[in-house]
Structure 1
C-alpha cells in the first residue's frame, strides 16, 4: 500500500510540473507577442507619425492619460491626436508582464519625444511610459491605457 502512495504522489508531482511548464511557456509567448506589438507600434510612430500609430494600436475603449486629462475611447483619441503628426516619439519597454490567463499585459520603460517649437527650435522631453495591453478577439494586442 505504501508503494501505491509513493507512485501516486510521483504522478501528481510530475503532472503539476508539466502543467507549470506549459503555463510558463504560454506566458513567455504572450510576453513576446506584447513586446513585438510594442516594437511595431514604436516603429509606426517613427515612420508614419503619432496619430496613425496611436489609432492603429488603441482598443475601441482605450484611454490616454495626457497632462491632467483622460481621453477616453478611440474616437476621442482620434480627435485629440488629429494634429499629432510628429515622428519624434521614441520608446522601448524595459519590462513586460502578462496575466496568467493571457488576456491582459503591461509594459513600462523610457521614452524620448522631440518636436519643433513655433520658432523651429528642437525641443526634447524624456519620461517614463506605462501601457496596459488587452488581447483582442482576433488575437492581436491593443492598448487600453497609455
Structure 2
C-alpha cells in the first residue's frame, strides 16, 4: 500500500507539472510574437513598408490587399510596397490577441492598424482596420509571417 501511495504521488506530480510547463512555453511564444510585431512595426517606421514587409516575410509569404489581390513571395511583396502611392506612410498597429499552435512553431496575431498618407497637396488620409498575421518559426529561431 505504501508503494502504491508513493507511486500515486509521483504520477500526480508529473501530471500536474506537464500542463504548467507547456503553458509557460506557449506564454513565452506569445511574448515573442508581440515583440516580433513591435520590431516589424519599428522597421516599417524606420525603413519604410517595402523594406519592413520584405525583412519580416517568409520566402513564400502571401499578403492580401485591395480588391482581394494576393501578392505571393517576399520579392513580389517588396515590389508591391515600392509603388509610389504607398511611399512614406505612417503605419501603426498592435496585436490584440496572439494564438499559438500546440507545437509552438506557428502563431497568429490580430489587432487594429492605422495607415496615414499625405496626398500631393499635403492633405492626410487615414485608413483604419483590422490585421491578421500568421507567423512561422524559422530554423534560426526567428519568426517570419506567411500570411498578412
Superposition deviation, residue 78 in structure 1: 1.8
Number of the residue aligned with 1:73: 73
1:1-146 counterparts in 2 under 5 A? 1=1, 3-67=2-66, 68-83=68-83, 84-146=86-148
Cα shift readout 1:31-74 (whole Å, capped 9, x = no counterpart): 11111000010111112211111001000011101021011111
- Bigger mean CA deviation after superposition, 53-62 or 118-127: 118-127
Provide the TM-score with structure 2 as the length reference: 0.91
Greater alpha carbon shift after TM alignment, 42-51 vs 133-142? 42-51
Moved over 2 A (4+): 3-10, 83-87, 117-120
Which string of whole-angstrom CA distances, capped at 9 and with x for unpartnered residues, describes residues 86-119 of structure 1?
Answer: 2411101111121111110011000000001243
Specify the SS of the correspondent of 2:99.
Answer: strand
SS class of match (2:79): helix
Q: TM (normalized to structure 1)?
A: 0.92
SS of 1:119's partner is coil
Unaligned segments of structure 1, at least 5 residues: none
Asked if the contact 1:47/1:87 (under 8 Å) is kept, the reply is no
Shift of 1:4: 3.5
Query: How many angstroms does 1:7 deviate by?
Result: 2.9
> What runs of 5+ residues in structure 2 fail to find an aligned partner?
none
What SS does structure 2 have at the residue aligned with 1:96? Answer: strand
